[in-house]
Structure 1
Amino acid sequence: PEKTYHYDKDKNVVRISDEYVIGVEVRFSRFIEDMADWAQEHNGKMDHQLEFDQDLQKEVIKVHVHIPAQGNSEGQDSTINVDPKTKLPISFGSIRLEYNVPIPPGSFDFEIPEGAEVVYE
C-alpha cells in the first residue's frame, strides 16, 4: 500500500502515514464484545459455555464463532478459550484458514468520517 490510514473511533482521529504500517487492533478489555460485533457484521453467530479444558486442566469459557460462507469466502469457525476470572483470551483455534483469495474491488477504500480530525505522520 502507498498509504496507511488508522482511525481511532473513540477520539474521532484519522492518522495518515505515507508508508505501510503493520497494525492489528486487539482490545483485550473488550474482546468478547468485539467478537460479537464481528460475528454480527458477517451474519454469523457466537455462543459460549463454561467447560473443563483437559489440556489446560481448568474451567474455561469456550466461545465458538461461526461465520457462514459468503461470496468468495468459504466461511470460518473459530474457538476461543477465555479465562473465567480475568475474562482474557487464553487460546485461539480456527478450523479453516483461507489465503490467496480474490479481493473484491473497493475492499480497502477508506473514507474519512465526517468531522474527524486528520493527522499526517
Structure 2
Amino acid sequence: MGEDKLGNKYFEIPANPSIGKRRNSRYFEPKVKDRFDQDLPSEWESWLRNRRENPPTLEEINRNHEILELTRKNAAEKGYIPKTAIQEKMGTFPRHEEYELMPGEKEDWKKEK
C-alpha cells in the first residue's frame, strides 16, 4: 500500500467474507527486520489500526510534518519546556537496597544519586 520516510513498508490483505473474514488485514514490514518496537508515523499507525479508510498520501504527511515543525518552533520561541526535559527533572523510579534492578547483578544505586 505504501512506504514511509523511515523505510517501513505497509501492506493490506483484502477481506474475504466467504471464509468469514469481514475486515481487511493490515500490517507493516519494518526497515530493520524483527524490530517492531519503533515509532511509526501517526498517519500510518491510524491506517494500520483501521481508524482511517485510505492510506495517507505524501502531501498529507508533508503538511502534517510542516505543522509539527511550526508547533515546535513556536513552543521554543515562547519558552515552553519540552516533555523530555520535564521528565529529566522528575528523576527516576525509587530504588530500594533490598531489590536488584537486574536479577543477579548487584548495583550500587547510592552512587547514582
TM over 0.5: no
Higher relative contact order at CA 8 Å, sep ≥6: structure 1 or structure 2? 1
Higher helix share: 2
Q: Computing the radius of gyration over CA atoms, which structure comes out larger, 1 or 2?
A: 2
Higher strand share: 1
TM-score w.r.t. length of structure 2: 0.28
TM-score w.r.t. length of structure 1: 0.27
